[in-house]
Structure 1
């Protein structure tokens, strides 16, 4: 599966041999929904992502079943009723950073990322702020953004409608290392 993902990502970039690629398969993604009845949160630590530091192109893919919830019943409902993880096993972001990443210069750079987010089989435009921290050639990217459930046609039964917020807060943190050719 990882080899297929890597080949698909490389095909997406169609990059020449001199491109500088950084990647991770341990990106952390968490989401949080605050409601009057019950807060809902979950975390995954197995996101896959690749960035071409020169062009700023980025792709990020996550297995929907990789989210871990504090209550197993929440996890079951998430996968079976809301995300329909058997039908839509992954969520994916494809986009471009607003500037190239300079691996030779340590420090924090605030950027924008603009692209498309596919969740639950529905692709929508997505823009977010991202902090890029470079330290000794290692890149850590952090972003927080909101997703509207209705935008991705995730049906919430009326019986639990008040338990789930209309917007979900999403946080992504990924530490990238250079791909060796």
Structure 2
């Protein structure tokens, strides 16, 4: 597992130019599934992300077992049946912020990239609010993904309990990354 983390960080560092980079080691990612039967909500505060404002490149790594649920059974089903965290321990996103302007203190931009979940890569495009702070940047936003796009199988008996669209929200507070 530590090898995966080191390789991910190495890839992120190599993919960015030599300009100043920023890192978020405890980013917030939540997901929400609404149905008339039961809402499913989970939060992960162990998300790693690297951002390069000069190039607009952004990379995110999410440990799937780090999601916290209200109910233990939801956590168990999520990791064992739906995400299969033993086989697919993480999700990743690699992308580019369109027309990012380092001179602006606040801006709303489109981020385009590739999201990988359960070994399946899909292009994603979504809006994010970006603000410059005294120590770095804050990037927050939300998006929706379809569970069918990532081959997440829901038994027919449980299908009324799981929405076909999952809303994902994120909030990253970047600080200077020292190499």
TM-score, scaled relative to structure 1: 0.92
CA distance in 2, matches of 1:133, 1:12: 23
Which residue of the partner structure matches residue 45 of structure 2?
45
> Could you list the per-position Cα deviations for residues 23-71 of structure 1 after superposition, in whole angstroms to 9, with x for gaps in the alignment?
1111100000110110000000010000111010110010100100000
CA distance in 2, matches of 1:71, 1:172: 22
**1:5 corresponds to 2:8:** yes
CA distance in 2, matches of 1:99, 1:136: 22
SS at 1:11 equivalent: helix
SS at 1:159 equivalent: coil
Which residue of the partner structure matches residue 35 of structure 1?
35
What does 1:83-98 correspond to in 2, within 5 Å? Answer: 83-98=83-98
Q: 2:161 aligns with which of 157, 160, 163?
A: 163
CA distance in 2, matches of 1:110, 1:137: 19
> Could you list the per-position Cα deviations for residues 147-166 of structure 1 after superposition, in whole angstroms to 9, with x for gaps in the alignment?
10000111111110000000
CA distance in 1, matches of 2:109, 2:135: 18
What does 1:102-121 correspond to in 2, within 5 Å? Answer: 102=102, 105=104, 107-121=105-119
SS at 2:157 equivalent: helix
> Could you list the per-position Cα deviations for residues 121-147 of structure 1 after superposition, in whole angstroms to 9, with x for gaps in the alignment?
110010000000112242110011001
Give the C-alpha shift of residue 3 in structure 1: 3.8
CA distance in 2, matches of 1:8, 1:87: 21
TM-score, scaled relative to structure 2: 0.93
SS at 2:175 equivalent: strand
Give the C-alpha shift of residue 85 in structure 1: 0.3
**1:63 corresponds to 2:66:** no
Unaligned stretches of 5+ residues in structure 2: none
CA distance in 2, matches of 1:44, 1:176: 16
**Pairs aligned (count):** 176
Give the C-alpha shift of residue 101 in structure 1: 4.7
Asked if structure 1 preserves the Cα contact closer than 8 Å seen for 2:100 and 2:109, the reply is: no
Root-mean-square deviation (CA, aligned residues, Å) is: 1.3
